[in-house]
Amino acid sequence: MLYYVTNMNLFVKRYIINYNIKKVFSYFTRPGILNRLIPPYKNIFVLKQEGIATDSITELQIKEFLFKLKWISKHIDYKGYEYFTDKQIKGPFKEFIHFHKFNKIDENKTELIDEIRFSLPFEPFSKPFKKYILADLDKMLNYRYQVIENDLDIEEKYKITKKNIVITGSSGVLGNYLFNYLSSLGHNVVRIRRDKKDKNSILWDLNNHYLSSCLNCADIVIHLAGEPILEGKWTEEKKKRIIESRVETTKFLAEKISKMKNPPELFISASAIGFYGNRGDETLTENSESGSGFLPIVCKKWEEATEPAMKKGVRTAILRIGVTLTPTGGALKNFLDVFRFKISPIFSKDDVWLSWISPDDIAYSIIHIIANENLSGPINIVSPNPIKMNQLIIQLKTLLNPKINLKVPEKIIKLILKEKAEEILFSSTRVYPEKLINSGFEFKYPNIDNALKHVLGFEIKE
């Protein structure tokens, strides 16, 4: 075990996980596991990861404001099932050493100890930044501990054999998240992409109905691709892209699957709770009818496009996904962009139901669907506890302490966003995940307070 130089700042955090030391330590040895453990609120990207054994290298790219920094660390010490140590050799710190210690408490309980020593450049002038760094380290480890424990819980419950999985939409927020999670479980996950330069992916070209590799080896096909709905104005051209990017791609894959001699065992295709439209206080289940408006039309056509796979007899799960709470994109990111200026928006309209879901519970619900062969058709992927829009703002205010409350009149938002405001921001959709609940799925983050704390790195107290 290595000891460190003195005159460095010290940060120590401990956490007890209810699994044996071999299982906990082995989690850190998985290929690409760092992608899984980076909090979604951090703009950190893994460029290279060789593992945790002595002399292995990790390269990260960090984006802060307009700056890009490269962080290179080297693992300088390792003892299986006991500890490993990494040290910055290039990065923003003058020195940074992270010692990861694993203590066996009993046969089914392990204590994680993270000991971090660092010094800053330009000391003592940089000393005021110390408290922010310590707070940031604490938040990052809060997030990491929750992910590790929940991941191990899910694996213990479902024990799914390794699958060959192909996935579209992996460059999007949810797709990339799922790619990293499923890969961390040891599944062979391959992306379907339009990028001809990516030799590790399956190439597709919808204009020419081309797929560079057949899907014969795939056990599961996950289809998430689609034009971003929240980005840009809803011009007629934009709305056309929103429809075609979903309907045509889904139809293309479903038809490919329908013509296969040995099709995949499961086809998972994304949809959204936009299927239901603006329904006020009505509680909506998978048996509820489609609503009226642009998004219900999109979702209805999107779901119908899976029909060729269904007719082939392939188990097809259609995920009606709610508002995904991630700082990386979507509604929460838009709210956080305002909160960064210490401003809290308050909407004059207070009767809008928001059916939300944490990104981890999306990932875990997909594992649940894979494991439960009786689950198929439309499945609501939402928390069992929807909230009013302003309740989300209240929870964010509690965590982020804004200084200014800014009332946002409904008329002004509708004047700026027009149809988009009616269909998204002021569309009240109170959805219940009946199929997940009835099939025994247990949400890790059923309540909004803990869901927000997790994705933003705050400690969750029992």
Residue 167 and residue 2: Cα distance in Å, rounded?
A: 43
Per-residue pLDDT, averaged over 66-95, amounts to 96
For residue range 241-284, list pLDDT tens digits in order. Answer: 999 999 999 999 999 999 999 999 999 999 999 999 999 999 99
Burial class (CB in 10 A: 0-12, 13-18, 19+), 263: buried
Higher pLDDT, 128 or 167: 167
Contact 287, 345 (CB under 8 A): no
Give the mean pLDDT of the chain. 93
Give the mean pLDDT of 151-165: 96
Q: Are 122 and 33 in contact (CB under 8 A)?
A: no
Residues 35-55: tens digit of each pLDDT: 999 999 999 999 999 999 999
Q: Is 452 helix (H, G, I), strand (E, B) or coil?
A: helix
Q: pLDDT tens, 373-429?
A: 999 999 999 999 999 999 999 999 999 999 999 988 888 888 888 888 889 888 999
| Domains identified in the chain and CATH numbers | 9-155 (3.30.530.20), 161-456 (3.40.50.720)
- pLDDT value at position 145? 98
Residues 6+ apart with CB under 8 A from 283: 430, 431, 432
Question: Residues 57-75: pLDDT tens digits?
Answer: 999 999 987 789 999 999 9
Judge whether residue 5 has pLDDT over 60.
no
Q: Give the mean pLDDT of 3-16.
A: 78
Judge if pTM exceeds 0.85.
Answer: yes
Residue, of 293 and 346, whose pLDDT is higher = 293
Per-residue DSSP letters for 104-144? EEETTEEEEEEEEEEE-TTTTTTGGGHHHHHHHHHHHHHHH
Do the Cβ atoms of 110 and 20 come closer than 8 Å?
yes
pLDDT at 66: 79
Residue 3: CB atoms within 10 Å: 6
What 3-state DSSP class applies to 415?
helix
The whole-number pLDDT of residue 410 equals: 81
- Report the SS3 class of residue 285: coil
- Residue 307: which residues within 8 A CB-CB, separation 6 or more? 254
Continuous segment of H or E residues that includes residue 343: strand 343-347
Rounded to an integer, the average pLDDT of 111-120 is: 97
Beta bridge partners of 96: 118
With bands split at pLDDT 50, 70 and 90, how would you rate the model's confidence at 7?
low
Q: What is the DSSP letter of 208?
A: G
